[in-house]
Amino acid sequence: MSPINFEVFPESYRHWRVEYEGDIARVIMDVDEDGGLMEGYQLKLNSYDLGVDIELADVVQRMRFEHPEVKVVIMQSGKDRVFCAGANIRMLGGATHAHKVNFCKFTNETRNTFEAAEEDSGQKWIAAVKGSCAGGGYELALACNHIILTNDSTSSVALPEVPLLAVLPGTGGLTRVTDKRKVRRDLADVFCAMEEGVRGQRAVDWQLVDEIVPNSKFDDVVTARAAEFAAASLKANGLTGIKLTPLPRKIAEDGSISYDLVEVAIERDKGLATITLNGPDTAPPASTDALQAEGADNYLLKLARELDDAILHLRTNEREVGVLVFRSQGDPAAVVAHEAMLLDNADFWLANEILQYWKRVLKRVDMTARSLVAVVEHGSCFAGPLAELLWSCDRSYMMQDEFEGDNRPLATVTLTAGNFGRYLMGNGLTRLQTRFLGDPEAVDRLEAQKGEALDADAADDVGLVTFIYDDIDWEDELRIFLEERASFSPDAMTGMEANLRFAGPETMETRIFGRLTAWQNWIFQRPNAVGEEGALQRYGTGIRGKYNMERV
């Protein structure tokens, strides 16, 4: 199969339309039945596959950067009598286990992005639900800030995966019902065991939707509600966006990838990919006007977009590459200066969006099912947002003292104000707070060292890196670790790493990506769901799945 490309453009959308009406936008789901990412299924009833969601992710991203004037987004269907039937069952039944899991992870990340758009960017999302809204369709609605349901005999919301398919709602449905909508546990149990779903006043009473509206008044009420929300918004008026230009990506025959600022060297025989992030070669913009003029060429925005694309490519298209090595080269002071410009102007819409995007990209790294290691070499620029990668990784190795024949500046790590609250993890803590969960005072002590270029001994003393090695031991120690990691069971590594990365409080986000995703991962391999007589395989035949009734 050809590699899956995560870069799309509005003019090539097959499944979504976007209409802009001043500070209100309409995102219309009108899925092309014959536009599946792979062969063997049709996307009927606004059902979706990964290709549909790749387009939606692009819609959400462009809404943030290209249309900051938008205050309210209405998500609606372009088809009669159906909002969305959810993930396409034929696609799920025929997909590999790995594709199903990666699909669910990406859809979760996309929904988290527009769910957070009101808090992060002042863009409130409304789900305008007409017709059947089932499974992943209801999960689309759940991720919106407000749900309006038509009050008629055909419109309902449902999570029928358990009774129909022997799997779980894969995009956070169970968790959002309880944690976000605050549906009572016993009513949630009833709801998630019903094939037909819930409609009308009961949907409001159970807190599954925010309001119901007669069909005859539905469109007018949705429009009026959007206008009300826009009028109440504190977001500035008349903002002008920037254009997200195509990424400069080249893929070599051996799978290695090069962008302008990011390079990915792949060694498939070793199960290894080395991601090099290059520092800036220009000064930061001198003003917000200059930042706006730079647009997508701004260093930190460009670096984030390239890194994001590289991570998605590796996740989906290089599944046997089990270890990702992060390295950097450049002037750390220049990275600090570029971030400082954004932090000093965080009330300017574009500076805020770039910083918020870095938060999302770093979360994507956190959630990547690979062994992650940071290598802090001489000449590196792990500072500010790049330093966050040191604490996203499972381990970090740093060069100590001078190396023979290496005339690069000595390796350092530089902390900035951004490391103390700007790039929160899914658990609601900074990576430093998560790292020093047992010693919170350590974070306070580190904050006093902001702006200092900490060499290997200093970084080791304060616990910012795992190991430091001199010229004699460096190559051997790094080689031994990489060989050992590649020899372990990838299943055990994924489970171990995912459990260790998210210390601290449990949030809706960690529950979705940790508990829910882990269970779904297991269920996706069980014969009750995916076996020849399982529910996913028999769906649509009129014959129910044959289950092994043993509880395990």
**Three state DSSP letters for 341-410:** HHHHCCCCHHHHHHHHHHHHHHHHHHCCCCEEEEEECCCCCEECCCCHHHHHCCEEEEECCCCCCCCCCC
41 alpha-carbon distance from chain centroid: 26
Distance CA 68, CA 122 (A): 9
Cβ–Cβ under 8 Å, residues 213 and 150: yes
- Predicted local distance difference test score (pLDDT) of residue 1: 63
Give CA separation, 284 vs 287, 322, 333, 348, 388, in Å.
9, 36, 11, 15, 20
Distance CA 438, CA 422 (A): 21
Residue ranges in the chain modelled with pLDDT below 50: none
Distance CA 347, CA 356 (A): 12
Helix and strand numbers, DSSP H then E, in the chain: 24, 22
The pair of three-digit structure tokens given for residue 252, joined into one six-digit string:
């070599």
| 321-338 as b/e: b if 16+ CB within 10 A | bbbbbbbbebebebbbbb
Residues β-bridged to residue 372: 324
Distance CA 114, CA 73 (A): 10
Looking at the chain, the whole-number percentage of residues with pLDDT higher than 70 is 100
CATH fit for domain 256-498, picks 3.90.1150.10, 3.40.50.2300, 3.30.930.10, 3.90.226.10: 3.90.226.10
Distance CA 225, CA 240 (A): 24
Q: What is the CATH number of domain 10-232?
A: 3.90.226.10
- Predicted local distance difference test score (pLDDT) of residue 354: 98
- Predicted local distance difference test score (pLDDT) of residue 14: 97
Topology alike, domains 10-232 and 256-498:
yes
Domain ranges of the chain: 10-232, 256-498
DSSP 35-97: --SSSS---GGGEE-HHHHHHHHHHHHHHHHT-TT--EEEEEESSTTEEE-EE-HHHHHHS-H
Distance CA 169, CA 134 (A): 10
Q: Could you read off the pLDDT of 323-341 as tens digits, one per residue? A: 999 999 999 999 999 999 9
In which residue are the tokens 């970090």 written? Answer: 396
User: For 81, how many CA atoms within 13 A lie in the half-sphere containing its CB?
Assistant: 3
Residues β-bridged to residue 147: 127
